Amino acid sequence: MDLNIFQYSFMVRGLEAGIIVALIAPAIGIFLVLRRYSLIADTLAHVSLAGIALGLLLGINPIYGAIGVTALSTVGIERLRSTNKVYGESSLALFLSGSLAFAVILLSLANGFNTGLFSYLFGSIVTVTQNDVYTILILSGIVAAVLAFFYKELIYISFDEEAARAGGIPTRTINFVLILLTALVVSLSIPIVGVLLISALMVIPVVSALQFKRGFATTVLYAEIISIFSVIFGIIASFYLNLSTGGTIVLIMLAIFSLILLVAPGTKKGV
């Protein structure tokens, strides 16, 4: 059986979308990991499911539904945290379970659980349309631009929030922007790895790159390389082996992480 991956336009689209997402996920993931915000990515991923369900119910593109609902929840999470009535982590738990409950109700209204849901939970590049690719490209471009604009502030806040604030950096605003960008990236990543595996895409390449103990710029570069390699290799491997794409990508990332843990020189110094 001669299967050429590029004969299939859906595979080309999947690779295009995958590479864009692979580029953007670690760029934001590094700040989430260093700020101990990894759980926020996971919460927003679950929240996005409610958006997807809403999209399916209303007949609009589920990615847009996901963007809308995650962005709104971002505001809600920040509001709830700033009231100091609940702990930060508890506010995440409230939103995670609450939105999941909401999603389940919406899905049961929309003729119960169908096969479409499975592809949103675990990703399915087969379903990526050309319009999705454009949407992912444009929104990723916006995320990349905003990240570039606030890059120096984000690094400073991640390293030493108090000193950054004393230096006149609007830390609250920057924190909010970071979470809003996370909501966008989560929504964009759904077609590739699905809701349940998104935080892996943002976190594992970064955690792997951190093992090399290098400077910030170098660490970001390494995370990007690991991410892009895993996504391309994962999409191709899943195609030939007929496996779930999202699962394959995440397992490849985990394999790379384990390999790095074994061989990385733990005391290596310098850039």
Footprint of another protein on this chain (CB under 8 A)?
A: 34, 148-153, 155-156, 158-170, 210, 213-219, 269-271
> Which CB sits closer to another protein, 158 or 238?
158
Least distance CB 168 / another protein (angstroms): 3
HSE, side-chain direction, 13 A CA sphere, residue 85: 6
* Alpha-carbon span 44 to 67, nearest angstrom: 10
> Which CB sits closer to another protein, 57 or 210?
210
Least distance CB 160 / another protein (angstroms): 5
Least distance CB 209 / another protein (angstroms): 8
Instruction: Using alpha carbons, list the distances in angstroms from residue 22 to 14, 59, 71, 99, 223.
Output: 12, 28, 21, 26, 10
Least distance CB 7 / another protein (angstroms): 42
> Which CB sits closer to another protein, 210 or 260?
210
> Which CB sits closer to another protein, 34 or 92?
34
Burial of 95 (0-12, 13-18, 19+ CB in 10 A): buried
Cα–Cα–Cα angle for 130, 137, 36, rounded to 5 degrees: 130
Task: Answer yes or no: are the C-beta atoms of 40 and 214 closer than 8 Å.
Answer: no
